[in-house]
């Protein structure tokens, strides 16, 4: 049997052992809590983005919006600049074309020339030379000017009116200054033929053409057509005057207007080579 003192010691040792075990349990739990704390990042992932991440994302979106606005602004300014440049180019082109049109050479028939050249070989009546007088009414000179003409005698009332014609002329080239004139004598006609015109028994048509290059290196073509008329005088006598030309309803044109005679209902095959000059 144990003595009372021994039982006290035994109970005291057991109590101390229990206290030591409880302390160890508490210490281990505390160490476990200290050693494995919940990471803030995990809490952030579970519960939402951190304020710093939210600020970074907001700044990123703001930069994207600013970039879009800047790009749109640049595109708008670029579009306006392009339109302004196109408008200026059109204005410059239109102004340049207008200035060229106002300054270029323009050659056309100014008058019908008519003068006596003396008696014919076959008789004592007077003969006349009839032709066209060309004028450069523009403000610059011509280059490579070639002119020609043709006279056609047809019965009164013959068709077509005016008759079909073929251009003829020399191969000489001229420089015609502004406001200067150049005659082209087509044919010599006896006075008795002029009297037939006067009496209404004969029609005489005079045709002319001028092709040239202006100072701006652009090609041009002018056609002219006239039917002669005569005053009531005797053209077999010296001093007779009064012959002129009535403008025809056809073959009076310039440049693109003349291309109507290349094809279609108004085509004149004999003029094709002449019309190719301005194509």
Percent of the chain with pLDDT over 90: 36
- Predicted TM-score of the model (pTM): 0.63
Is 33 within a domain?
A: no
Is 215 within a domain?
A: yes
Which of 3-12, 33-42, 78-87, 175-184 has the least mean pLDDT?
33-42
For the segment 103-119, the average pLDDT, to the nearest whole number, is: 88
For the segment 79-104, the average pLDDT, to the nearest whole number, is: 68
Q: How confident is the model at residue 90 (pLDDT cuts 50, 70, 90)?
A: low
Q: Of 127, 139, 56, 156, which Cα lies nearest the Cα of 99?
A: 139
Is 4 within a domain?
A: no
For the segment 10-34, the average pLDDT, to the nearest whole number, is: 56
Count the domains in the chain: 1
For the segment 219-244, the average pLDDT, to the nearest whole number, is: 92
Residue 194: which residues within 8 A CB-CB, separation 6 or more? 128, 230, 235, 240, 243
Task: For the chain, give the mean pLDDT.
Answer: 79
pLDDT of residue 43: 47
Q: How confident is the model at residue 2 (pLDDT cuts 50, 70, 90)?
A: very low
Q: How confident is the model at residue 87 (pLDDT cuts 50, 70, 90)?
A: low
Which of 61-70, 89-98, 127-136, 226-235 has the least mean pLDDT?
89-98
Is 117 within a domain?
A: yes
Q: Which range marks the domain in which residue 250 is found?
A: 108-278
Is 236 within a domain?
A: yes
Cα 109 to chain centroid distance, Å, stands at 31
Is 119 within a domain?
A: yes
Is 56 within a domain?
A: no
Is 228 within a domain?
A: yes
Which of 12-21, 131-140, 187-196 has the least mean pLDDT?
12-21
């Amino acid at each position: 049997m144990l003595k009372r003192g021994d039982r006290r010691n035994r109970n005291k040792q057991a109590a101390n052992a229990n206290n030591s075990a409880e302390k160890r349990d508490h210490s281990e739990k505390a160490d476990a809590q200290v050693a494995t704390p919940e990471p803030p990042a995990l809490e952030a992932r579970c519960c939402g983005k951190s304020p710093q991440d939210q600020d970074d994302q907001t700044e990123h979106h703001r930069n994207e919006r600013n970039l879009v606005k800047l790009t749109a602004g640049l595109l708008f300014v670029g579009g306006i600049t392009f339109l302004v440049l196109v408008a200026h180019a059109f204005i410059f082109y239109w102004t340049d074309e207008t200035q060229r049109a106002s300054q270029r050479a323009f050659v056309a028939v100014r008058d019908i020339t008519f003068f006596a050249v003396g008696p014919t070989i076959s008789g004592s009546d007077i003969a006349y030379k009839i032709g066209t007088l060309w004028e450069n009414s523009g403000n610059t000179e011509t280059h490579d000017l070639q002119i020609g003409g043709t006279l056609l005698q047809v019965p009164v009332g013959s068709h077509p009116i005016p008759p079909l014609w073929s251009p003829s002329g020399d191969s000489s080239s001229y420089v015609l200054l502004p406001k200067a004139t150049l005659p082209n004598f087509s044919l010599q006609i006896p006075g008795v033929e002029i009297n037939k015109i006067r009496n209404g028994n004969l029609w005489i048509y005079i045709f002319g053409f001028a092709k040239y290059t202006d100072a701006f290196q652009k090609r041009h073509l002018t056609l002219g057509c006239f039917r002669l008329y005569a005053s009531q005088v005797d053209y077999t006598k010296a001093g007779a005057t009064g012959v002129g030309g009535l403008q025809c309803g056809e073959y009076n044109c310039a440049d693109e207007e003349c291309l109507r005679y290349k094809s279609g209902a108004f085509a004149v095959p004999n003029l094709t080579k002449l019309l190719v000059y301005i194509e």
